[in-house]
């Protein structure tokens, strides 16, 4: 009889853990049934916020207001004595960038910066949409059809639009939904093109002295072909910057300040306006260009 009682006690003791496990499982199912929809909705909302860039670290990065950094020239435009940068010039992200619609938006500079005959450098951050990258054209006395002038930042995926002008297929095979740092230099003999700090092509080029009659940002004056996408931090220098200087500018990021103030002739950050912050007064006229503040959702620049 004693053995039998022990066996009965053993069976009863094994049922208790099973009952507890069953009760916990039932409780868990009831919890999921009660709060499952709430958990699902919260997950969907978090995913949407992540997609919108709310959790992007750029969201919390400091943003420089329009005109936060500029060149101070105590002796007036185009002078080089005692010039220096003033304001927030630490490479912070700008609050705004310029958005071009690819149809009728551009920024015109009526007189254009004063340039030397030969050496020149142009640089900008660009975000092309689609297949055309027509950004800046420095006009000379020649027309698009006759050639003989130097055309800058006017590229396409598969070849030239205008005849008899320098052309690089720099974006062939490149992803379009990306920011690029584009620099072009000319030293009087060789035209070089840099993308994200790297040399991607060069041409031996002979042109007549460059006479600036005005220029556009976002659309060429003679050839049309408006730019579709975003542009920021356009800089023009009266010299051919070195590869090391171009790499240094790239590492500064989209909010980087000019690197060679002695040769800087124009600087349009496009941070909310088309003003020239080089101290040389080459302010632009805005034509159907929007300045957007949520641009950094797609800015994922990381130094190499």
* CA–CA gap between residue 68 and residue 65 (Å, rounded): 5
Kindly state whether residues 69 and 41 are assigned to the same domain.
no
Which residues are CB-neighbours of 81 under 8 A, at least 6 positions away?
Answer: 74, 75
Is the whole model's pTM more than 0.85, yes or no?
Answer: no
* Final residue before a domain boundary, out of 30, 51, 72: 51
pLDDT score recorded for residue 95 = 95
Which domain covers residue 6, as residue numbers?
A: 1-51
Kindly state whether residues 134 and 23 are assigned to the same domain.
no
The answer on pLDDT for 53 being more than 70 is: no
In a domain, 57, yes or no: no
pLDDT score recorded for residue 1 = 47
Kindly state whether residues 110 and 159 are assigned to the same domain.
yes
Kindly state whether residues 68 and 46 are assigned to the same domain.
no
Kindly state whether residues 29 and 69 are assigned to the same domain.
no
* CA–CA gap between residue 114 and residue 124 (Å, rounded): 19
First to last CA, the chain: 83
Phi and psi angles of residue 296, each rounded to the nearest 5 degrees, phi first:
-70, -10
The residue assigned the tokens 């990021």 is 253
**Alpha-carbon distances of 272 from 41, 80, 240, rounded to whole Å:** 37, 27, 28
Kindly state whether residues 105 and 215 are assigned to the same domain.
yes
In a domain, 284, yes or no: yes
What's the CATH number where 169 sits? 2.60.120.200
pLDDT score recorded for residue 233 = 96
Q: Is 116 exposed, middle or buried (CB count within 10 Å of its CB: 0-12, 13-18, 19+)?
A: middle
In a domain, 35, yes or no: yes
Phi and psi angles of residue 24, each rounded to the nearest 5 degrees, phi first:
-65, -40
In a domain, 56, yes or no: no
Q: Write out pLDDT tens, residues 156-214.
A: 333 333 333 334 444 444 455 688 898 888 887 887 888 889 987 777 766 555 555 66
Kindly state whether residues 165 and 242 are assigned to the same domain.
yes
Q: How many domains does the chain have?
A: 2
User: Taking Cα atoms as reference points, which of 162, 149, 165 lies closest to residue 211?
Assistant: 149
Kindly state whether residues 70 and 165 are assigned to the same domain.
yes
User: Which secondary structure element, helix H or strand E, spans residue 232, and what is its range?
Assistant: strand 228-237
Kindly state whether residues 95 and 142 are assigned to the same domain.
yes
Q: Write out pLDDT tens, residues 93-111.
A: 999 999 988 888 888 887 7
Kindly state whether residues 43 and 72 are assigned to the same domain.
no
Which residues are CB-neighbours of 301 under 8 A, at least 6 positions away?
Answer: 179, 253, 254
In a domain, 304, yes or no: no
Kindly state whether residues 17 and 153 are assigned to the same domain.
no
Phi and psi angles of residue 26, each rounded to the nearest 5 degrees, phi first:
-65, -40
Residue 265 pLDDT class (50, 70, 90 cuts): very high
Q: Judge contact between 195 and 139, C-beta under 8 A.
A: no
In a domain, 218, yes or no: yes
In a domain, 230, yes or no: yes
In a domain, 303, yes or no: no
Kindly state whether residues 42 and 71 are assigned to the same domain.
no
Residue 293 pLDDT class (50, 70, 90 cuts): very high
């Amino acid at each position: 009889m004693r053995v039998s009682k022990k066996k009965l006690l053993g069976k009863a003791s094994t049922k208790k853990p099973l009952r507890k496990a069953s009760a916990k499982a039932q409780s868990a199912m009831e919890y999921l049934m009660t709060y499952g929809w709430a958990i699902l909705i919260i997950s969907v909302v978090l995913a949407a916020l992540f997609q919108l860039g709310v959790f992007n670290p750029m969201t919390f990065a400091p943003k420089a207001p329009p005109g936060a950094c500029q060149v101070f020239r105590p002796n007036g435009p185009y002078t080089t004595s005692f010039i220096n940068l003033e304001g927030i010039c630490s490479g912070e992200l700008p609050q705004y960038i310029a958005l071009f619609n690819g149809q009728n938006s551009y920024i015109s500079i009526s007189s254009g910066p004063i340039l030397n005959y030969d050496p020149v450098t142009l640089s900008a951050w660009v975000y092309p949409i689609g297949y055309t990258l027509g950004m800046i054209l420095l006009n000379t006395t020649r027309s698009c059809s006759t050639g003989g002038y130097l055309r800058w930042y006017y590229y396409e995926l598969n070849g030239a639009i205008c005849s008899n002008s320098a052309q690089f297929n720099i974006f062939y095979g490149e992803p379009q939904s990306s920011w690029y740092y584009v620099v072009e230099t000319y030293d009087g003999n060789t035209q070089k093109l840099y993308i994200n700090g790297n040399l991607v092509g060069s041409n031996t080029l002979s042109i007549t002295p460059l006479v600036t009659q005005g220029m556009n940002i976002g659309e060429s004056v003679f050839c049309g072909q408006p730019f579709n996408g975003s542009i920021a931090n356009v800089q023009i220098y009266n010299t051919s910057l070195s590869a090391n200087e171009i790499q240094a500018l790239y590492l500064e990021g989209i909010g980087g300040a000019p690197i060679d103030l002695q040769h800087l002739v124009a600087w349009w950050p496009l941070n909310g306006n088309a003003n020239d912050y080089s101290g040389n007064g080459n302010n632009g006229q805005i034509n159907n260009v929007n300045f957007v503040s949520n641009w950094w959702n797609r800015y994922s620049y990381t130094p190499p």
